[in-house]
A and B are shown apart, each in its own frame.
Chain A
Amino acid sequence: GENVEQHPSTLSVQEGDSAVIKCTYSDSASNYFPWYKQELGKRPQLIIDIRSNVGEKKDQRIAVTLNKTAKHFSLHITETQPEDSAVYFCGAPDGGYNKLIFGAGTRLAVHP
């Protein structure tokens, strides 16, 4: 089955800096890679996703890049703001079992 590793586990940046979180996956057949944001005490919510037929997708200050050859994908947040502070989870499908496997999460802290 699919295995997803996420790094770093914690990330601290100054407001205005960029933040990058990376995930690697094991199943070369995986074709969908979402990123979820979980604010303190809240539910995870999808912020961006990418499918395997594209290499990059942007939505305002966030972007996701995918390298299928190396089997990794990354979340990029530019011009970070304090409200970006949260736990971020990446995911990849375990296609043979109809489920989504999540990484262990990255706790991002943006300091004013």
Chain B
Amino acid sequence: EAQVTQNPRYLITVTGKKLTVTCSQNMNHEYMSWYRQDPGLGLRQIYYSMNVEVTDKGDVPEGYKVSRKEKRNFPLILESPSPNQTSLYFCASSRTANTGELFFGEGSRLTVL
């Protein structure tokens, strides 16, 4: 089954404690992306990757890091989480960068205390 898998789905953490949200896709997609969803603000892009070892900033990259060492995986790293990073995070993948269907993971709800 074609899917994008994120983990963890839910996480409560404290300010400053490093965490990683994993994302994996099995569709051999070159393009992967991370979004955060906040009420009234829609889906805002954090980082994206056009292919292995190619990553770039989205609209709200501050406080986040990513890596793309393998085609299927695109982890999101919060080196020192802060309360303003409390949000719902979605990983997505697509065959093309911005002209094709985005397949979203189930989302990861993160709370930073």
**What is A's interface to B at a CB cutoff of 8 Å?**
6, 9, 31-32, 34, 36, 42-46, 49, 51, 89, 93-95, 97-105
Contact = CB atoms under 8 A, between A and B. Distances in A.
B41 A104 contact: yes
Nearest to B109: A41
Given A43-B104, A43-B105, A44-B104, A99 B42 contact: no
Contacts, number: 60
28 contacts: A9-B40, A31-B99, A32-B98, A32-B99, A43-B90, A44-B102, A49-B101, A51-B99, A89-B42, A89-B43, A93-B99, A95-B98, A97-B56, A98-B50, A98-B97, A98-B98, A99-B48, A99-B97, A99-B98, A100-B33, A100-B98, A100-B102, A101-B45, A101-B59, A102-B42, A102-B43, A103-B42, A105-B42
Q: Chain A interface secondary structure, helix, strand, loop or mixed?
A: strand
A104 B40 contact: yes
Interface residues of B, number: 25
Given A98-B97, A99-B58, A45 B40 contact: no
Contacts of B105: 43
Interface of B: 31, 33, 35, 40-45, 48, 50, 56, 58-59, 90, 97-102, 104-107
A98 B56 contact: yes
A46 B101 contact: yes
